[in-house]
C-alpha cells in the first residue's frame, strides 16, 4: 500500500463514504445545514494521519497509568487476537466441523505481516454550528443548544459508520483490516481484555480500553490541549484554521512495501517522536523550547496565555485539573493526592459528569462541551506553532 493510497487515497475514501451517508435518511441535511466542516467544493473536510509500526511495537509504552491511558490499554496484540478469534476456522475444506477451533496466533501475524498501519481520522464539526453555540455560551453563561447537541450526536454517528465502510473497502486478500468504531472498541475491551483489567481496574472514566485520542496524538493528527481535547491547527493563507470533531481509527495488518512507502505522508513514530510528544502534552513543562510547538496557548509564549476553556467550565472540573500557566499545580490541586498516580493527575471527570449528567436528566438534549466550543472559536491561536509542529513531526518521524 503506497503513500498516496495510505494518506491521500484514504482521505478520499472517507470523503466518498461520508457523501454516500449524506443520502441516507438520518443524514439528509440540506447544503445550508450540513453539520460537518466542508471545503470550497462542499466536500467533507476530513483530516487524516497514518502511522507505520512493526508488529512488535508497543503503542502504550510509558503511558500505562490509570490517570493517563489506563493500566491495560489494547495494543496491536489484543486487536489481532480479537480479530483472529472472530475469524477462527469452524469447518474444514470438506465442510466438517473442526476439532481444534484455535485462532491464529500473534506469532502467525508476525510471520505473515510485516507491519501495522494505524489510520486515525477526524470529521471536524461545522464551524457555523460551533460558533453559534459559543455565542450562546458567551451571552447566557449557562445556556445550551439542542442544535449543537444534535450535531454532536449526528456527526459522531456519521464518522462511526464511515469508518466501518472505509475499512470494508480496504479489505484485501493480503491484509487484515479492523475498523476501530465504537462497537468494535467496546467488543475489543470486553473480549480481548480480561475482566480483571476492565472498568475501574483499568482506570477511572476511560470509556473502554482503546484511547482514540491518544492514537490521534501518536500519529500527529492533532494535539491535546490543556482541556484534554484533541484539536488540529493548520496555517492556511496567512491564518490559523482550527479543527475539532469525532475521531476514529482503522488498524491494517499488511506487508512492508519499502519501494511504495518511500515518499512522505506516513508517520513512523520513532523513540524521539514519542519523547517529544510526552513533553508536549505535559503542561507542567513550561520550557519555551517545547511550548513553541503547542497549538494550545494556555502556557504563555512571550505574551498572555489563553484560558478560555478553563474560564467557561460550569462545573469547575477544568480549574481543578490544570496546572497554573507557569507549569506548577496550585495548592488546592496538589493537596488532592488521591487524584495523582506517579505524578500524573486524573482529570476531574466526576465533577464534569455530575454537572452535564444531572442537567441531562432534566433536559435530555442538554449539552456542555463549552471547553471544546470556546477553544474552537475563540481560543488563542499560534501561527508559529501551526508551522513548527509539522516541521518537527517530519523531522522526527522519518523512516
On whether the CB atoms of residues 136 and 263 are closer than 8 A, the answer is no
Residues 334, 370 contacting (CB under 8 angstroms) = no
Whole-number pLDDT of residue 77: 98
Scanning the chain, the segments in alpha helix (DSSP H) are 3-4, 10-21, 76-86, 106-112, 127-140, 146-170, 182-191, 212-219, 271-280, 288-291, 308-311, 331-334, 349-362, 370-378, 383-396
Q: Most distant CA pair in the chain: distance in Å?
A: 74
| 90, 50 Cβ separation under 8 angstroms | no
Is the predicted pLDDT of residue 184 greater than 90, yes or no? Answer: yes
Give per-residue pLDDT as tens, 88-125.
Answer: 877 777 777 887 778 899 999 999 998 999 999 999 99
Check residues 255 and 126 and name the one with the higher pLDDT.
Answer: 126
* Banded pLDDT at 63 (limits 50, 70, 90): very high
Residue 262: which pLDDT band, with cuts at 50, 70 and 90?
very low
pTM above 0.85, yes or no: yes
User: pLDDT, tens digit, for every residue of 196-232?
Assistant: 999 999 999 898 999 999 999 999 999 999 999 999 9
Give the least confident one: 61-65, 303-307, 369-373, 392-396: 303-307
Q: Are 234 and 391 in contact (CB under 8 A)?
A: no
Beta strands across the sheet bearing 266-267 = 176-180, 247-254, 115-122, 47-53, 266-267
Measured distance CA(125)–CA(227) in Å, rounded? 18
The string of pLDDT tens digits covering residues 136-172 is 999 887 789 999 999 999 999 999 999 999 999 999 9
pLDDT > 90: what percent of the chain? 82
Q: Which residues pair with 345 in a beta bridge?
A: 340
> How much is the pLDDT for 257?
62
As a whole number, the mean pLDDT across the chain is 92
Q: Residue 236: pLDDT above 90?
A: yes
pLDDT of residue 37: 96
Please answer whether residues 376 and 306 qualify as being in contact, where contact means their C-beta atoms are separated by less than 8 angstroms.
no
Contact 36, 155 (CB under 8 A): yes
CA torsion angle 397 246 75 103 (round to 10): -130
pLDDT at 263 (0 to 100): 44
Contact partners, residue 374, CB within 8 Å, separation at least 6: 134, 137, 138, 308, 309, 312
Q: Among 211, 45, 144, which Cα is nearest to 373's?
A: 144
Who's near 382: CB < 8 A, 6+ residues apart? 233, 240, 294, 295, 297, 301
pLDDT value at residue 259? 40
Signed CA dihedral, 148, 150, 156, 161: sign only: negative
Amino acid at each position: 500500500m503506497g503513500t498516496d493510497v495510505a494518506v491521500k487515497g484514504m482521505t478520499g475514501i472517507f470523503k466518498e463514504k461520508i457523501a454516500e451517508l449524506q443520502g441516507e435518511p438520518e443524514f439528509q441535511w440540506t447544503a445550508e445545514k450540513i453539520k460537518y466542516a466542508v471545503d470550497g467544493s462542499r466536500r467533507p473536510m476530513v483530516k487524516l494521519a497514518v502511522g507505520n509500526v512493526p508488529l512488535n511495537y508497543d503503542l502504550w509504552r510509558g503511558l500505562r497509568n490509570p490517570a493517563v491511558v489506563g493500566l491495560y490499554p489494547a495494543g496491536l496484540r489484543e486487536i489481532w487476537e480479537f480479530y483472529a478469534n472472530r475469524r477462527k476456522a469452524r469447518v474444514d475444506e470438506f465442510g466438517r466441523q473442526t476439532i481444534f477451533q484455535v485462532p491464529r496466533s500473534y506469532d502467525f501475524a508476525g510471520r505473515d505481516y510485516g507491519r501495522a498501519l494505524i489510520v486515525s481520522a477526524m470529521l471536524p464539526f461545522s464551524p457555523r454550528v460551533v460558533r453559534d453555540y459559543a455565542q450562546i455560551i458567551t451571552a447566557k453563561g449557562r445556556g445550551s443548544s439542542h442544535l449543537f447537541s444534535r450535531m454532536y450526536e449526528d456527526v459522531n454517528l456519521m464518522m462511526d459508520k464511515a469508518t466501518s465502510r472505509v475499512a470494508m473497502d480496504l479489505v484485501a486478500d493480503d491484509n487484515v483490516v479492523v475498523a476501530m468504531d465504537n462497537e468494535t472498541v467496546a467488543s475489543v475491551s470486553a473480549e480481548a481484555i480480561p475482566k480483571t483489567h476492565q472498568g475501574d481496574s483499568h482506570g477511572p472514566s476511560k470509556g473502554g480500553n482503546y484511547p482514540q485520542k491518544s492514537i490521534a496524538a501518536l500519529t500527529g493528527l492533532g494535539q491535546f490541549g490543556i482541556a484534554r481535547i484533541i484539536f488540529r491547527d493548520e496555517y492556511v493563507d496567512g491564518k490559523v484554521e482550527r479543527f475539532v470533531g469525532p475521531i476514529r481509527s482503522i488498524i491494517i495488518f499488511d506487508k512492508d512495501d519499502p519501494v511504495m512507502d518511500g515518499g512522505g505522508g506516513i508517520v513512523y513514530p520513532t523513540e524521539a517522536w514519542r519523547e517529544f510528544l510526552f513533553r508536549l502534552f505535559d503542561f507542567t513543562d513550561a520550557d519555551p523550547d517545547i511550548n513553541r510547538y503547542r497549538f494550545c496557548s494556555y502556557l504563555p509564549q512571550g505574551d498572555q496565555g489563553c484560558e478560555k476553556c478553563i474560564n467557561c467550565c460550569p462545573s469547575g472540573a477544568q480549574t481543578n485539573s490544570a496546572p497554573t500557566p507557569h507549569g506548577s499545580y496550585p495548592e488546592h490541586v496538589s493537596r488532592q493526592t488521591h487524584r495523582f498516580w506517579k505524578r500524573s493527575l486524573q482529570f476531574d471527570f466526576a465533577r464534569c459528569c455530575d454537572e452535564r449528567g444531572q442537567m441531562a436528566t432534566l433536559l435530555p438534549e442538554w449539552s456542555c462541551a463549552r471547553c471544546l466550543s470556546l477553544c474552537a472559536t475563540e481560543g488563542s491561536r499560534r501561527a508559529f506553532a501551526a508551522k513548527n509542529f509539522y516541521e518537527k513531526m517530519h523531522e522526527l518521524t522519518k523512516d
